[in-house]
Structure 1
Amino acid sequence: MGLFGRKRSGLPQREVVQGHTYEDAGLDAAARSAADGHIDPALAALAECRGKPEVRALRVRVLAEKLLGRAEALQRTALETGNPDAWLLAGSTFIEEAWAIRGHGWASSVGQDRFRMFFATLRKAIGPLNQAAESLPKDAVPWAQTQRAALGLQAGRDETDAIWREIAARSQTLYPAYYTRLQILAKKWGGSHEEMLAFARLSADAAPQGDPLAAMVPIAHFEVLLADQNELIGNKHTIKAAMLPNTYFSKVRTEIDAAADKWMVAIPRAHPRALEAHNAFAAAYVLAVEPVRARTHLVAMRDHLHDLPWNYFIDHDKLREEYLKVYGKFVAKAQKPAALY
């Protein structure tokens, strides 16, 4: 039995897209070239969005993932040309290579040798990112990437706070930077639920109406849920752990509603992370069993699945199947015309 009930025949046959929660044709073209080993289109794609930090942050992350194994070559290009986009992409690719070495499981599942390689590779990112930041002093994205490296390197709070101040001085709403800051404040990285939730609430309050930064609120609650579930499992309360996702989000509905309304009160502005944010709200409302709000965000996702936060409570290999059940329950069923008698 899945999280949302028994498997039923006749699930809606929909083209579900996983791992591509953005709409950027220029990025898609550059990513295809990068996958084939060509870096010039990637550098051009970054150069054309230097004044658009949200677009730039998304592009560098996606392109770095496509260029795994090419960080050293990118660094040589940067040394030869002094191109700030090459510095940024080199540093970002070192970060992706480091996480590929470590894996995304719990620290207890990572051996000492892999941890040493992980830290060594992450440290290689710092120099290129510093060069990128010096080359374009107003650019928040090198600092956002440095924050990611600092998280993995387990930097102290004085250092991560200083990096955050550099980001905030350049951008008040950079979505991925806020997400990483939230992780730094999370209990699993040495912070606390209270500090993380306070940051998420403040972020949503300070965000302009129509900005998906409001999604930091449900994302923070998913972090609390995950930590509480793991604690229950560790104490062998497996039944309570299985029931927790639904009961937890029912209790925090009011706060999730306020954040969703802050984003959706007006026509939301076009934003590269909008589909990610709809995933966060949709998952929260599905667990709270709130049909109207769940349907709103499920439809807005347009069948683009982001791993987070769904993977916090659904196994990755079952995600598509479980999503189709959710869609059938909250969207397709609600759209069926009433029977005529």
Structure 2
Amino acid sequence: MCDAAKAGDWQGVEDGFRELTDPALHQKAISLVGRLLDRAVVEEAASADPTSALAGTLLAWRLVDDGWEIRTGAWGQHVSQEQWQGFHEHLHRAEQILIQVTARHPGYTSAWTERLHTARGLSLGQTEARRRYGKIVPHFFPAQQAMVQQLCPKWGGSFEAMHAFAVECTKASAPGSVNGAVVALAHVEHLLLVIRDESSRAGVAYMKRAQVQQELHWAAEHSVLNPAFEPAPDWVGAHSAFAMAFSMADNFSAAAKHYDALVTGGNLADQRPWEYLGEDYVDEFVSLRELAFKKGSRP
């Protein structure tokens, strides 16, 4: 399917997606293929068949991604009016496409997940975001990731709501599932805001709090460190979230377990949340991994 996307072979892309029955794999493929396909190919496919859920969702994904390229990941006060305008134009168009997709295909999980992203970017509010989340299959990790963002104070939520949601997702999930990683992601989001509003030292102090560390250990042991754990489509992102969260607290012995899982699983890592570390996030990831293995010892 990736080869078909690179070659601009829409039929090959469609054939590949027909074989994906797992919603999590489907969502992974949407983001992967969305990056590889030339936008003109997706535009043409969506125009040729306006009723295609796949073409519409891929085009919407690409519009959102291109919109974020315009906006950049800078804090809101550092985004120009021109950037905001370009961002909103892309998201408004994506939203209109997704409204049509979900109206025709109400059970299309990937489209509803993208509608969480447009809801956040267009500031449609917490109530609307929760309504959309309710349309998605239970325990869907990509949607939970999106909701952690939505419930964060920087998008109109609160720390209390964000952490409560993450804990609720973990408690409701099966032992050995990846869902516990939303707890780590919530604490990383909290860390970033403390750094922004106070200092890096204050951020590290927050991550070192006993309650934070206890919650991270609990979530990790319920999910990716549980004996029932088996690699699922989002397992790399889940271990990455815990590795970063523990690293930010200088808890290298705990972080080393997650780095080791990523190495033994194929020397892997997910872009998120490492991209929060800046343009050189790959080098930062490698340095933190080496530090964890050195100070915390590799299992």
- TM exceeding 0.5: yes
**Corresponding position of 1:124:** 93
1:143–1:163 CA contact under 8 A, matched in 2: yes
Q: Quick one: which of 44, 64, 78 aligns to 2:49?
A: 78
What CA deviation, in whole Å up to 9, does each residue of 1:315-341 have, x standing for no partner?
Answer: 332x333333333333267369xxxxx
Q: Distance in 2 between matches of 1:144 and 1:270?
A: 22
Question: Shift of the alpha carbon at 1:254?
Answer: 0.5
Q: How far did 1:122 drift?
A: 1.2
1:119-154 residue CA offsets vs partner (Å, 9 max, x unmatched): 122121123323332443322221111111111111
Cα distance 1:47–1:134, how it changes in 2: closer, same or farther (>3 A)? farther
Matched, 1:309 2:265: no
Highest relative contact order (Cα 8 Å, sep 6+), 1 or 2?
1
| 1:276 corresponding residue in structure 2 | 237
Deviation at 1:269, TM superposition (A): 2.6
Q: How does 1:153-168 map to 2 (within 5 A)?
A: 153-167=122-136
C-alpha deviation, 1:285, in angstroms: 1.8
Instruction: Evaluate the alpha carbon distance shift between residue 93 and residue 326 of structure 1 in structure 2; reply closer, same or farther with a 3 A threshold.
Output: closer
Q: Deviations over 1:82-135 (max 9, x none)?
A: 332222222222222222222222222322223222212212112332333244
Q: CA deviation at 1:68?
A: 5.3
Quote the offset at 1:280 in angstroms: 0.8
The one-letter code matched in structure 2 to 1:198 is A
Shift of 1:273: 1.0
Equivalent pairs counted in the alignment come to: 291
SS of corresponding position for 1:271: coil
Structure index of larger Rg = 1
What is the CA deviation profile of residues 238-274 of structure 1, one whole-angstrom value per residue up to 9, with x for unaligned ones? xxx2323432222111010000010122231331111
Among 89, 110, 121, the residue aligned to 1:141: 110
In structure 2, how many angstroms separate the alpha carbons of the residues matched to 1:209 and 1:216?
14
CA contact (8 A) 1:68 1:93 kept: no
Give the C-alpha shift of residue 173 in structure 1: 1.3
Q: What is residue 11 of structure 2 aligned with on the other side? A: 40
Instruction: Read off the aligned partner of 2:208 and give its amino acid letter.
Output: S
Task: State which of 260, 269, 273 in structure 1 corresponds to 2:220.
Answer: 260
Contact 1:173 1:207 in 2 (8 A): yes
**Distance across 2 between alignment mates of 1:211 and 1:279:** 15
Task: Show CA shifts across 1:21-45 (max 9, x none).
Answer: xxxxxxxxx2343234332222222
> Paired residue for 2:251?
290
Gaps of 5+ in 1: 1-29, 233-240, 337-341
CA deviation map 1:27-70 (0-9, x unaligned): xxx23432343322222222221x31111111112222223533
Q: Is the 8 A contact 2:153 2:159 kept in 1?
A: yes
Name the structure 1 match of 2:207: 249
The structure where helix makes up a greater share of residues is: 2
Given the superposition, is the C-alpha separation of residues 183 and 68 from structure 1 closer, same or farther in structure 2, using an over 3 Å criterion?
A: farther
Find the residue that maps to 2:208 and give its secondary structure.
helix
1:183-198 to structure 2, matched below 5 A, reads 183-198=149-164
Report the Cα distance in structure 2 between the residues aligned to 1:91 and 1:329, rounded to whole angstroms: 40
- Identity across the alignment (%): 25
Q: Which amino acid aligns with 2:162?
A: M
Taking the aligned partners of 1:310 and 1:99, their CA distance within structure 2 comes to 17
Summarize the Cα distance change of 1:257–1:231 in structure 2 as closer, same or farther, 3 Å threshold.
Answer: same
From 39, 56, 72, the counterpart of 1:103: 72
Task: Choose which of 162, 167, 178 in structure 1 pairs with 2:144.
Answer: 178
Deviates more, 1:117-126 or 1:303-312: 303-312
1:171-210: CA deviations, max 9, x gaps?
1111111111111110001111111111111111111111
